[in-house]
Structure 1
Amino acid sequence: MAGRHTSHTMEHKLLKAVATGDADLLAQALGIWPTATAEQGDVDQSCCLKGVTAEGSSVLHIAASRGHLKLVVMICTHDISLIKSRKNQLDTPLICAARAGHVDVVDYLVRAASAMQEPERSVLRAWNSGGATAMHEAVRNGYAPVLQKLMSSDSGLATMVDDKGVSPLYLAY
């Protein structure tokens, strides 16, 4: 299968599950809870979490931005590498969760990243195409609990500047 390693379209069942927060549908799509009505082919192909939307969003980006913590946990348990995935604008799932103010999802992603082999700072300190980090997004959108969570994880984030030379610390004032 040529091109299998390249990005491909997200399966409709996965997109519907993460968009609506349907943990049962996600479990079925992942083959965790095959149902009596599921065809054998559905379960065998279920593990394809690498698909993306037209904007480059992975299932983890969507679940994180919508605050579906249970789904975020299920996805990360199934494929932790998605924590480092990037959308077309280079947003990570952590940036998406911080922008939307989902402190529980931010907390989980920070803890999951710190448990990975590489240093958590690579995920915590990731920039999007606008040069913003998760902390920039939390400050811009007024999410103090997210800001506090990120600061307690990596206080150095406060002084990281975006592509305009603006730090989250400056934005906060």
Structure 2
Amino acid sequence: MSVPKFPGLLEEEEEEQESYGTAESMDPELYRATTEGDILEFIRAMEQGPLDRQHGSSATCLQLGPQKNTVLHIATSSGHYEIVKLLCKDLPFFVAEKNAKGDTPLHIAARGGDSLLVSLLINSDFRRGFWKRNEEGNTALHEALHHRHKKVAQF
């Protein structure tokens, strides 16, 4: 398993591995491909699941980890730009999804100070949710400033 690019941002990383038996857990192959940045395996895992008619996508991608992290949260935390770019293009509604702590993928990218990830998320087709607050009451801008990422905050 790869180490998240931004350690501590997805603190449930170890919990998630132990929780695949729960009803809300993510498919292990999808999780592995996402954390390792294996784009071909990621696409294969996404295509294997049944279709979700509401979102027009694979229902597999709609699975959540125990802390309600989507594949976009996980790919952002791991710093896998190609997977983030693919998700922002094909499944832009993920950009506004919150995890159990109220963080969107933009909160994670801003906290980590990664301007490329922030740019990919901000330039997605889904522009709602950029000012969402997490459980601590912070927007992504607050997170960037709190962690002294001036360039990211300027986005």
Q: Same fold (TM over 0.5)?
A: yes
Task: Tell me the SS of whatever aligns to 1:123.
Answer: coil
Task: Tell me the SS of whatever aligns to 1:8.
Answer: coil
Runs (4 or more) in structure 1 with deviation over 4 Å come to none
2:64–2:70: 8 Å Cα contact kept in structure 1? Answer: yes
1:103–1:146: 8 Å Cα contact kept in structure 2? Answer: yes
What TM-score comes out, normalization by structure 1 length? 0.67
> Which residue matches 1:23?
39
> Which residue matches 1:88?
100
CA distance in 1, matches of 2:139, 2:150: 15
CA distance in 2, matches of 1:61, 1:128: 14
Identity of aligned residues (%): 28
What TM-score comes out, normalization by structure 2 length? 0.74
Q: How many residues align?
A: 126
> Which residue matches 1:104?
116
Q: Which residue of 74, 80, 85 corresponds with 1:68?
A: 80
Task: Tell me the SS of whatever aligns to 1:132.
Answer: coil
Unaligned runs of 5+ in 2: 1-22, 52-57
Structure 1 residue 67: deviation in Å? 1.8
Aligned CA RMSD, in angstroms, stands at 1.8
Unaligned runs of 5+ in 1: 1-6, 32-42, 150-173
Shift in alpha-carbon separation, 1:44–1:53, aligned structure 2, 3 A: closer
Shift in alpha-carbon separation, 1:142–1:14, aligned structure 2, 3 A: same
Shift in alpha-carbon separation, 1:66–1:101, aligned structure 2, 3 A: farther
Larger radius of gyration: 1
CA distance in 1, matches of 2:86, 2:43: 8
Question: 1:64-101: CA deviations, max 9, x gaps?
Answer: 12221110112223322111111001100111111111
